[in-house]
A and B are shown apart, each in its own frame.
Chain A
Amino acid sequence: MFTGRLRRSTTLLSVSALTLGMVSTGLLTNSASGASATPGVTKTSITIGASVPLSGVAASYAPVSGAANAVFKYIDSKGGVNGRKIKYIRLDDCYDLASYGLGCTAGASVTTLSQNQALVAQDHVFATVGSLGTAAEESVLSYLKQNGVPQLFVNSGSSAWDQPSKYPNLFGFQTSYQAEGKIFARYIKSKYAGQTVGFIGQNDDFGANGFLGLQDGGLNIASANQLSYNAADAITGSSSDIQADVATLQTNKVQVVVLDSVPGFTAGILTVAKLLGYSPTWVISNVGADPTSVNNVGEAGAITLDYFPAVTNNSDPWIPWLRKVLLADKTDFPTFTSSSVITGNELYGAGFAVAFAETLKAEGKTVTRAGFVKELKSITLATPSTTPLKYSSSNHQGLQGGVIATIAPNGSLAPVKALLTNTTVFTTGNDKKSPIKVSTKLSVSAIPSWMK
């Protein structure tokens, strides 16, 4: 018994010693790294990251961050920003649907959270810039906030990015679905006064916010339907509700239909409508209207909201500039030629990349997270968008409107001639009470000279 007790206490002592040894080694290793105060920032570089769908169900959005990368590479080739090269790390999160497979090459157990953990804890990024996906980005809000990492220019129209008091370092980029809904309501009421209006939306934030916007805009919706679906089905458009919803609208003789659906569903709905011989006026949310993604003949003539100038607009200096930038990036755009069509995805990516670079430039030599966020809220940004991009203490959403455009038969977007003027720009806030401002002036800002 004496031997037993002695042996046990020896074990306990040696395990404790071993434990203490490992703990102190671990602590010492942890404290030995890094020289700069701000993570991701050195004298000659700044590292940023994004969790984006590079493969899998939403891979069609990959050119968005690709274009952003192209912009950063172009700026780096000219010496970077204040002597710092921008290093953009894009990790594939498969739209946070890796477990569904469907072409995802990142690995079945990858999640948006795990990729953001890698970006923050391994790559020590300064901020996440242009991460994509509503549900995907909502899942990392609290993680990024807890670790003090700014979440910039989230690619999604959800109003969740506009919470300045709760998430002071969180910023969106595009016009919210709600604001878009208000603008659609205003346009429909003026152009299609007296006609019956219907709605098909997804049973998530997208559909709910869009519908709310339509109601805030005072539109009387005769027939509203919600699509229920499984996340992965959204891309293939295989909701079982499509047939029933479209048939209901046809039976009720609805003349104008608003769609708040991703491209897969939009294509499905348009196809079913064609089969049923139903052709109302379609008003489709920007997110679900990209002609290259929807690729459906029934879309020609449909109305949507465009945040960027039409690619055929020759007076806009950003279009040839972007062409030059994309041509220079053979890694991300290997098949892009001088006659290739620039899509909305690429304009979008360039939009937020330019916003990041400009804010960084304005901040000057010393770069900190707090300083960057402060600069972002005060600076007037020069970007390709049709409405001004201006953040403030009360606006973390980003763009606040756009141009009503129509989808031409060849798949390009052309601004619609409004009742009285050539091009009408609508801007409004997320708030129900925020009024809709109408202007005929496209805010095409000049390209900053250092970026040209």
Chain B
Amino acid sequence: MSWWTTLIKQETTRSRVLAVTLLTLLTLAITFILPPVADSELAGGAAIAIVILGLSWLIGWSGQISLGNSGFMAVGAYAAGIWAHHHTTTPLLFTFVLAIVAGGLSGLVIAIPSTRLRGPYLAGMTLAFSAAITPLAQNFTSVTGGEGGLFLNSLVTPHWFTNLFSGPNAAIDANAQWTADLAVVVAGVMFFIMANLFHSRVGRAMRLVRDNEVAAELMGVHLSRTRTMAFVIAAAFAGLGGALYSLLEASVRPETFPLTLSITLLTLMVLGGIGTLSGAVLGGIIFSFSATLVAHVNSLTGVNPTSNVGANMQGIIFGVLLIVTMLFAPRGLVSVKNPLRRLFRARPLMRSAKEVH
């Protein structure tokens, strides 16, 4: 087995550390070259990648469909926002821990009734949770700031970082980049944690529960506890992603996390590749540059942005990408090794359950 395969499969902790560190360093280097506005978009993509990671874990490896991740994001974001509203300054690490805990707790609350449900019923339950978030945020004005939402202070760039830049726009460039670099590092850490979780006992137990309940029970794996744990972890990741996203936006409002975001997350996850780490990275990247992509498509096709087609262009593009991906690369874009070869290969009509995953 070559060293590259070892790195990708990440079966040892050392190779995981190496892989994540290399990738993070490379992405950080890229942020130094990108213009500040692209850096901001990348930062948003990093936050979304963390959420997709958790979703991928839940749907791909635990087999539980969830449309509730925008809700968990909102919980993490509002937890960070409400705390920031009452405290002038908060250490960043504290905000992240708070978001993880808040997300995890909300995951627990949703999981307890949910783990009895399967398939469309579970999806419906989590959908209801996501749908409830916006009205809840709008109505409990004294806590959530209502329609106006809550404002978080911009991240403070440390002096040693600003000193790396020179020229009249040094401060602005440094500030823009610091937020992007921070988001990338946080994403790197979460990816490392997820890679370890995957290879741990928890991860193996989850996959067993997904594939064969009877075998799992025979092995002494507690079914509902494992499923609940999956939810809690996914929600914790989503909470952190949501808080990071709100820190980047410097605000959290009822419309920041609408129901449609849950569906977008699902789409991005499938596009990237369910149950893979690189799939989550790809999903995040697609998200960051989706705005630019939509603008390009609009100008290429000459569609009027205010027409029905133009206004929903993002949905149309994602929908088309999703259909194409499901037809030609159901395991997501990361699984495409030789796109041309796949096109011409005879496709079996029936797919086993494993392959669809």
Say whether A and B bind each other: yes
| Chain A interface residues toward B at CB < 8 A | 4, 7-8, 11-12, 15-16, 18-19, 22-23, 25-27, 29-34, 36-39, 55, 97, 99-101, 103-105, 107-111, 113-114, 117-118, 120-122, 124, 134-135, 138-143, 145-148, 203-205, 228-231
> Is B170's beta carbon under 8 Å from chain A?
yes
Partner of A121, one of B35, B146, B250: B35
Residues of B within 8 A of A33 (CB): 167-169
Please state if A109 and B22 are interface contacts (CB–CB under 8 Å): no
Residues of B within 8 A of A205 (CB): 148
**Partner-binding segment picked from B74-82, B229-237, B290-298:** B290-298
**Partner-binding segment picked from B98-106, B171-179, B271-279:** B171-179
Please state if B3 and A140 are interface contacts (CB–CB under 8 Å): no
Partner of A36, one of B31, B147, B148, B168: B168
Partner of A19, one of B25, B157, B167, B172: B25
Separation of A383 and B165 alpha carbons in the complex (Å): 42
- Mask: chain B, 292-319; 1 = CB below 8 Å from A; 0 = not: 0011000000000110000100100000
Separation of A107 and B28 alpha carbons in the complex (Å): 28
| Chain B interface residues toward A at CB < 8 A | 3, 6, 18, 22, 25-26, 28-33, 35-37, 40, 138-139, 141, 146-149, 151-154, 156-157, 164-173, 175-176, 249-251, 253, 255, 258, 290-291, 294-295, 305-306, 311, 314
A15-B25, A55-B306, A135-B148 given; A117·B167 CB < 8 A: no
* Interchain residue pairs with CB less than 8 A apart (30): A11-B22, A15-B26, A18-B29, A22-B32, A23-B29, A30-B32, A30-B165, A31-B165, A31-B166, A37-B168, A55-B306, A101-B311, A104-B306, A104-B311, A107-B305, A108-B314, A113-B249, A114-B40, A121-B35, A121-B172, A135-B148, A135-B149, A138-B148, A138-B151, A139-B251, A142-B151, A142-B152, A146-B154, A147-B175, A230-B138
Residues of B within 8 A of A22 (CB): 29-30, 32-33
A31-B165, A31-B167, A121-B176 given; A99·B149 CB < 8 A: no
Interface majority SS (helix, strand, loop, mixed), chain A: helix
Partner of B35, one of A38, A122, A138, A230: A122
How far, in Å, is B158 (CB) from chain A's closest CB? Answer: 13
Report, nearest first, the 5 A-B pairs whose CB atoms are least far apart. A26-B32, A121-B36, A22-B29, A31-B166, A34-B168
| A103 and chain B: residue at smallest CB distance | B306
Separation of A105 and B295 alpha carbons in the complex (Å): 11
Separation of A426 and B324 alpha carbons in the complex (Å): 66
A15-B26, A121-B173, A122-B36 given; A34·B167 CB < 8 A: yes
Separation of A30 and B171 alpha carbons in the complex (Å): 11
Partner of B33, one of A25, A38, A122, A145: A25
Partner of B176, one of A7, A37, A97, A117: A117
Please state if A99 and B22 are interface contacts (CB–CB under 8 Å): no
Partner of A30, one of B6, B170, B175, B258: B170
How far, in Å, is B262 (CB) from chain A's closest CB? Answer: 14
Interface majority SS (helix, strand, loop, mixed), chain B: helix
Residues of B within 8 A of A134 (CB): 148
| B310 and chain A: residue at smallest CB distance | A105
Please state if A25 and B255 are interface contacts (CB–CB under 8 Å): no
How far, in Å, is B7 (CB) from chain A's closest CB? Answer: 8
Residues of A within 8 A of B153 (CB): 142
Partner of A146, one of B166, B175, B290: B175
Please state if A30 and B167 are interface contacts (CB–CB under 8 Å): yes
A108-B314, A148-B171 given; A143·B290 CB < 8 A: no
Residues of B within 8 A of A109 (CB): 290-291, 294, 314
| B30 and chain A: residue at smallest CB distance | A22
> With contacts A134-B148, A142-B154, A203-B147 known, what are 4 further pairs, Cβ within 8 A?
A27-B32, A107-B291, A121-B35, A146-B156
How far, in Å, is B318 (CB) from chain A's closest CB? Answer: 12
Residues of B within 8 A of A135 (CB): 147-149, 253
Please state if B250 and A140 are interface contacts (CB–CB under 8 Å): yes
Partner of A117, one of B37, B251, B290: B37
| A144 and chain B: residue at smallest CB distance | B154
